[in-house]
Chains A and B, each alone.
Chain A
Amino acid sequence: MSMIQAINSALDVMMERDPDVVVMGEDVGYFGGVFRATAGLQAKYGKNRVFDTPITEIGIIGVAIGMGAYGLRPVPEIQFADYIYPALDQLVSEAARLRYRSAGEFIAPMTVRSPFGGGIFGGQTHSQSPEGIFTHVSGIKTVIPSTPYDAKGLLIAAIQDNDPVIFFEPKRIYNGPFDGHYDRPAKSWAGHPGAMVPAGYYRVPLGQARTVREGEALTILCYGAMEHVVESTVSEMGVDAEIIDLRTLVPLDIEAVERSVKKTGRCLIVHEATRTSGFGAELSALVQERCFYHLEAPVERVTGFDTPYPHSLEWAYFPGPVRIGEAINKIMRD
């Protein structure tokens, strides 16, 4: 199953199980979403539960809060993560704080799905990785899968969660794992262990990282599409790295991070989002607070640059095997 099919399957399973689950967003109804994530759902569950919305992201999220207050479980789609900014006030000032400010009287149990990340020549407004904005906000959970199996299990867990969840889908790997070599043909998910997806219900709990690969030389913390770039770089270099796919940034599986870094004594953090005040900065601070006496080299970060996403120079921007390889070499030299 591809990641897009896994997401579709998660929505299907949850709509089947729970009549409170509703899917809404621009083009998600009849058409089934510009990436086809919601294909077939309207035909199956009807227009009361799967519907197109006006093009107003702040409206979509505000309405989802109201639906949640009624008792539904809305799963709004923001067509591209870049268009989540117009919805920011409702997400940050309202959804994230509703439980707190009403002392639990009202909650906003929504899962905001949104394709994010670069590598598809989407230019500045179809490529961004805004997860750091949400991890900075108290009261929102941030989830990012890297395989079809995780995408389905995590999405189900997110929909069942009573807190607002931002569910970022790395669109670069919707149809196949991407190893970062843009000049090689795209691979499909077929045959990938993470693409073995059960048909029915299962959960991947929020807050648990996945050890992609065990190793002794260094720990690499990553998530989303980067997991695959890291994995292939590590195997190409033949370095004995331990790769941790964080899966959820908030809540973070701090134990998995700590355990691994204490074991290897070296830590590399990889994400696509811009560097300054990115989630890598938080990870780096956590690692040095908790693992300082175990570290044998400074914590390194490979991230997007602090520029907007450039169209033609996308491949220089996208953290690929070259930059990750250089960083691994540097950490291992120290």
Chain B
Amino acid sequence: MGDRGNSGAGMAGNEREQRRNLPPLRLHVPEPRFRPGDVADFSDLEIPAAGMMPRPDEGADAATMRDLAYGLVRVLDEDGQAVGAWDPKLPPETLLRMLRAMALTRAFDQRMFRAQRQGKTSFYMKSTGEEAVSVAAAAALASDDMCFPSYRQQGVLIARGWPIIDMMNQIYSNKGDRLKGRQLPIMYSAREASFFSISGNLATQYPQAVGWAMASAARGDTRIAATWCGEGSTAEGDFHSACIFASVYRAPVILNVVNNQWAISSFSGFAGAEATTFAARAIGYGIAGLRIDGNDALAVHAATRWAADRARANHGPTLIEHFTYRAEGHSTSDDPSAYRSADEGSQWPLGDPIARLKQHCIALGIWDEDRHAAMDKELAEEVRDAAREAEKNGILGHGLHHPMETMFEDVFEEMPWHLKEQQQAMLDEWKAAGL
């Protein structure tokens, strides 16, 4: 350690002598259970049976709900039956609408992932395995409740019926892109859909959602806010700032944590999962916390509706941990086989959210395999046709983008002299170069 060490500063000689006999301190660095080559086995994971968790009144004092932050709210059982107090008892139309939006989200992801691989855009992120988290939540919210999503909630836009061509135009950064080609693909913004502009900086949307909810409350509005981040992102200071504001002002906001087990190559242990649950973060702030099966669309819907009702009745915020699994890579730039066991996804004990909702609908007698197969085919075609349409507006790097000078617009409401000068200089330079 040399002379720079400050560790012994101020310590008397005999005190140091006494410590010689103490065991050396150890640093604990978490390690995920399975690495490439390991056989994944989740049999010891505690998964309570569906229907076990109590459903408190929406106005319940957060302090009485401690157990819900450590349990796992599940509605769909192994046979696809909806059981227990959290069963939202949704009408068939709602169930089938959710199923369709989830399947469309998956088809969209598949197509856009392929488009990236074909060089039509720079980047893509799938939400495979997490479709229930976004779609069922959107179905439980009012269409004008304001969403502050992270980058893996494309399902919210899709569930709200936002045109997928518009989303594709954004992904291709083409001349049809309402964001004028300025944002990384999938960083949507859709004010009309009450969908806040996505940032690449993790967790920044969290306090913003709380601020929006506080404003809505201060104005006596009836709209609430919802926000999402990954479990990895809960480590950011912004997450904690959001919780304290939400708690202090009883903001009408739903704070969703999508615990998909992985943050790029870092497993949830690096966000603190070895010590506690993410829903339990709520307890220290006096916020209601629910830990739910994120692959169970009915649980997601029920918890979101519960939290929304709670917020609308001025009982304040809810933090919902969606326990789920990131079935694919982090993004098109990622290769998960380099850091996690290859069969983890298939061994994941909570199954696939689409398969589970489909099974439920079939068990109810409102759906069957043939209709499902037909729907998948139809959605694949819908997505393919939309992609072809969107490609007519251009794909990334093939010239069909917004004109270069638009780069300088929207920095400020009015363009100051220095930007005007830079804009002109750029045009002159390209012209002089014959381009």
Contact = CB atoms under 8 A, between A and B. Distances in A.
A311 B235 contact: no
Contact of A305 (B233, B426, B435): B426
Nearest to A274: B422
Nearest to A56: B235
A83 B264 CA distance: 15
B201 interface: yes
Interface string B185-210: 10100000000000111100000000
Interface in B1-19: 1-2, 4-7
A149 to B, nearest CB: 28
A58 interface: yes
B22 interface: no
A311 B182 contact: yes
A238 to B, nearest CB: 16
B29 A47 contact: yes
A253 interface: no
Most chain A beta-carbon neighbours within 10 Å: one of B4, B35, B233: B4
A220 to B, nearest CB: 17
Contact of A313 (B233, B265, B401): B401
Given A83-B201, A86-B236, A326-B433, A53 B27 contact: no
Given A26-B264, A30-B35, A30-B265, A20 B1 contact: yes
A311 B232 contact: no
Interface string A35-67: 000000000000110011111111100000000
Contacts of A162: 4
B432 A326 contact: yes
Given A124-B182, A306-B422, A311-B184, A52 B266 contact: yes
A275 B425 CA distance: 13
Contact of A20 (B2, B174, B236): B2
A54 B270 contact: yes
Contacts of A47: 27, 29, 31
B275 to A, nearest CB: 12
Interface stretch (B52-60, B84-92, B363-371, B404-412): B404-412
Interface in B144-189: 173-174, 177, 180-185, 187
A52 B430 CA distance: 45
Contacts of B1: 20, 71
Nearest to B269: A52
Contacts of A322: 429-430, 433, 435
B349 interface: no
A123 B183 CA distance: 6
A310 to B, nearest CB: 5
Interface string A305-334: 111101111001100001101100000000
A258 interface: no
Contacts of A109: 4
B240 to A, nearest CB: 9
A85 B390 CA distance: 35
B426 A316 contact: yes
Nearest to A183: B397
A26 B233 CA distance: 11
A202 interface: no
Contacts of B118: none
Given A308-B411, A311-B183, A125 B199 contact: yes
B237 A58 contact: yes
B181 A310 contact: yes
Most chain A beta-carbon neighbours within 10 Å: one of B123, B182, B402, B411: B182
B219 interface: no
A305 B255 CA distance: 37
B339 A306 contact: no
B411 A126 contact: no
A222 to B, nearest CB: 18
B396 interface: yes
Contacts of A186: none
B407 A325 contact: no
B118 to A, nearest CB: 15
B320 interface: no
A31 interface: yes
B345 interface: no
Most chain B beta-carbon neighbours within 10 Å: one of A20, A71, A83: A71
A291 interface: no
Nearest to A54: B235
A166 B272 CA distance: 28
A82 interface: yes
A292 interface: no
Interface in A125-171: 125-126, 162
A310 B407 contact: yes
Given A34-B333, A322-B429, A308 B182 contact: yes
Contact of B200 (A34, A48, A52, A82): A82
A70 interface: yes
B7 A70 contact: yes
B422 A125 contact: no
B408 A31 contact: no
A107 B174 CA distance: 50
Most chain B beta-carbon neighbours within 10 Å: one of A26, A58, A323: A26
Most chain A beta-carbon neighbours within 10 Å: one of B7, B334, B397: B397
A307 B201 contact: no
A286 B122 CA distance: 40
B173 A311 contact: yes
B338 interface: yes
A59 B233 CA distance: 12
B426 A55 contact: no
B406 to A, nearest CB: 8
A52 B266 CA distance: 7
B20 interface: no
Contacts of B380: none
A122 interface: yes
A218 B200 CA distance: 40
7 contacts: A29-B266, A31-B265, A31-B339, A54-B271, A54-B272, A107-B4, A125-B201
Interface of B: 1-2, 4-7, 27, 29, 31, 35, 122-123, 173-174, 177, 180-185, 187, 199-202, 232-233, 235-238, 263-266, 270-272, 333-334, 338-339, 396-397, 401-402, 404, 406-408, 411, 418-419, 422, 426, 428-430, 432-433, 435
